[in-house]
Amino acid sequence: MSMNFAANGKMSRLAVGFLGILTCCAAFTRQSWGVDTSSSPHATLRSVRAGAVRWTDGFWARRLELCRTATVPAVHEGLLAPDNSEHLVNLRIAAGLEQGPYRSTNWSDGDCYKWLESVALIYEITQDPALDRLMDEWIEVIGKAQRDDGFISTNAQLRDDVEPLDIPYTHQLYNMGHLLTAGSVHYRATGKDSFLRIAVRTADFLDGEFRPRPPRLTNFPWNPSVYMGLIDLYRTTGEARYLTLAEIMIGNRGSAPGGNHRSGGTDQTQNRVPIREEREAVGHAVTAMYLYCGAADLYAETGDAALLEALERIWHNVTTRKMYVTGAVGQGGRGRSSRGDPVHEAFLADYYLPNRTAYAETCANIGNAMWNYRMLLLTGEGRFADMVERVLYNSMLSAVSLDGKRFFYCNPLAWNATERGDHRHRTGARWAVHSCYCCPPSVGRTIAKLHNWAYSVSDGAVWVHLYGSNTFNEELPGGAKVGWTQQTDYPWDGQVRITVDRAPAEPTAVRLRIPGWADTATVKVNGRPIDGAAEPGTYAAVRRAWRSGDVIELHLPMPVRLLEAHPAVAELRDRIAVMRGPVVYCLEAPLNEDGEQLWKDGVFLPENIVFTPRHEADLLGGVTVLDGTALTFVGRDRFIRDVVDPAPQPKEGANWEDTLYRTFDPRQLEPAEDGTVRITLVPYYAWANRGLSYMQVWTPLAR
């Protein structure tokens, strides 16, 4: 690896930063993907090494292939489209390779880097030389666009009204933060240091600006991807200054309150209150999730107990008061925080969860999974894995069309067959280009690295978080090697089969996640049930001396579950949502399938409705649907008159503490004799793939 030092012979700060890189190169093959806790002293679980997991068939294998062949190319095409809001061309202009004005959002560069990260992740799997050349081409452009001092943010380089590090709202640290992560991922995928060198120069620039803690930079950044980026770079290079800089920046949060939307210091950007003192999720939902992810990464390296305690409090607030049943977060476009600050695209009041006007931005939803995945690595607790899974199968996948080429910004839980909603980001159909294009590259990079979220390791144990057909080959922290093949048709079927291909010499534990919804799960080894119960929301541990050919069988029953919401959620009273396994279902009525008539006639659920699962291989990419008999307006009125008493009052002493959604307990009622309609529920993630439609996740009861 060559390195140019300062002309006077003294080592520059850049050269010092590369000492860690030189150290880590020898250990390149042990690098882990995504959230690299392989050497983090305060993480319970270690991320697996690059290449340890490969999807082989089934749900996630198909989506990874679609990501490779459709999503990543579609995002590339979108970033080159003149009528889009984010543009790769800005980098060429800043590099002096093209002429033209800056015509993008302030955060355009960051989304270009997210796309490059997804390309690197796909390259690591495929070793496709065309992808390698594509990355080399754009990395060369980025290097030419970067200033000599390491600064790079084309909105400040190409516009007269934006200066470097002028105000937080210009998102310059969002742009540079994603560059730091993409540079680290590219190095791990290719072994090349071309992008990493750019990232190091950027981090050294930031270190020189922020380490002295000038007051004018206290409320930077507005959108804090830079926290994760700095710690990614620290984990890749071993350079401790980058970890210290992340600690300084996170410590600045809340130390200078009282600003405004553009300058920070308010709940909109989570810096009115220091994060170590915060008790609730506030402000812009994406910036909140990036802050919480960065704080979790920092805890993994430093063990700052106050950070973990704050993250636990905030997590409790989100999951028991402010999260949609799909795992989506960010209830509204505009409002005020509990402390009176104006906020938008934000967390709003407890239990305020509107459906059709749900903001639920794709980047925020994915951020919720990113945060929960980090909390899982820190603690090893199944509740966090449950949240990851809820997002992935629902509010993350709903953002991308079944052909992988079109996207949603907002992910509402109800729709009325219109093309547009009350906000430009609420649409009834997915789009190819948009006025804010941050979400498509977020989807691409998440699916591209998801296989690396399936497993973790700890001393003497392998942890299974996500189920899907795959191969797994890894070396445990103590040096023991393990390999197996997992086969399953999850999430449509709850049967999981793991066959040991390579057994470690010493006894090893396999910890199988038992989802919180799996009340009667069972585990067998070589046909014999294991001792001890497989409790929902935990990891069932099977420890033994394994042999090649041993078979683990996990059975997760998947009955259809009816859910009700906390009565404080006014819009959801007397409404029911439906789940089977990890999948949230919706009632969708496409206009081109006579959906308007169905909606006019009305759809109401009798309390003890029975849904029958049916797999449709040729529908919506292959899904399990749920068939049932509902009531029309006429049928509902007759049903209430002839069969059912008025809606029951809440049970005396009914306890909803710390519960936002729970299983609905229906009364046993006689079935309706007329005024019925057959309905078919489809997975929520698959809605809006058959033209404009009516849709609802929460369907009213016949009361």
Domains and CATH numbers, the chain: 81-252 (no CATH), 273-453 (no CATH), 455-555 (2.60.40), 560-700 (no CATH)
Active-site residue, selected from the candidate residues 293, 438, 439, 586: 438
DSSP 539: E
The pLDDT of residue 533 is 76
Burial profile 570-579: b = 16 or more Cβ within 10 angstroms, e = fewer: ebbbebbbbb
Using DSSP, state whether 446 is helix, strand or coil: helix
Mean pLDDT split into 10-residue runs, the chain, 703 residues: 30 38 39 79 95 97 98 98 98 98 97 98 97 98 98 97 96 98 97 98 98 96 97 98 98 94 95 97 98 98 98 98 98 91 96 96 98 98 98 98 98 96 93 98 98 96 98 92 97 98 95 97 96 91 96 98 97 97 98 95 94 98 98 93 71 75 91 92 98 98 92
Active-site residue, selected from the candidate residues 239, 247, 345, 564: 345
Using DSSP, state whether 374 is helix, strand or coil: helix
Q: Which uninterrupted H or E stretch holds 64? A: helix 58-66
What is the distance between the alpha carbons of residues 27 and 377, in angstroms, rounded to a whole number? 22
Contact 535, 515 (CB under 8 A): no
The pLDDT of residue 649 is 63
Please say if 439 is a catalytic residue. Answer: no
Half-sphere exposure of 608 (CA within 13 A, CB side): 10
Question: In whole angstroms, how far apart are CA 39 and each of 32, 50, 458?
Answer: 10, 14, 11
Please say if 410 is a catalytic residue. Answer: no
Contact 514, 382 (CB under 8 A): yes
Contact 375, 42 (CB under 8 A): no
What is the distance between the alpha carbons of residues 578 and 613, in angstroms, rounded to a whole number? 12
Burial profile 485-506: b = 16 or more Cβ within 10 angstroms, e = fewer: ebbbbbbbbbebbbebeebbee
**In three state form, how does the secondary structure of 391-442 look?**
HHHHHHHHHECCCCCCECCCCCCEEECCCECCCCCCECCCECCCCCCCHHHH
Provide the token pair at 81: 């489209």
Q: CB within 8 A of 674, min separation 6: which ones?
A: 635, 638
What amino acid is encoded at 280 in this protein? E
What is the distance between the alpha carbons of residues 258 and 255, in angstroms, rounded to a whole number? 10
Backbone angles phi, psi at 53, to 5 degrees: -125, 140
What is the distance between the alpha carbons of residues 62 and 404, in angstroms, rounded to a whole number? 11
Question: In whole angstroms, how far apart are CA 464 and each of 44, 63, 468?
Answer: 14, 20, 10
Do β-strands 623-631 and 661-663 pair in parallel, antiparallel, or remain unpaired? unpaired
Contact 238, 17 (CB under 8 A): no
What is the distance between the alpha carbons of residues 390 and 582, in angstroms, rounded to a whole number? 6
Using DSSP, state whether 193 is helix, strand or coil: coil
The pLDDT of residue 647 is 64
Question: In whole angstroms, how far apart are CA 679 and each of 95, 626, 664, 687?
Answer: 57, 8, 20, 15
Q: For residue 623, which of 682, 678, 679, 581 has the smallest C-alpha distance?
A: 682
What amino acid is encoded at 335 in this protein? G
Contact 184, 193 (CB under 8 A): no
Question: In whole angstroms, how far apart are CA 619 and each of 295, 414, 492, 597?
Answer: 42, 21, 14, 22
| CA angle, residues 537, 696, 330, in degrees to nearest 5 | 60
Q: CB within 8 A of 189, min separation 6: which ones?
A: 50, 120, 121, 123, 124
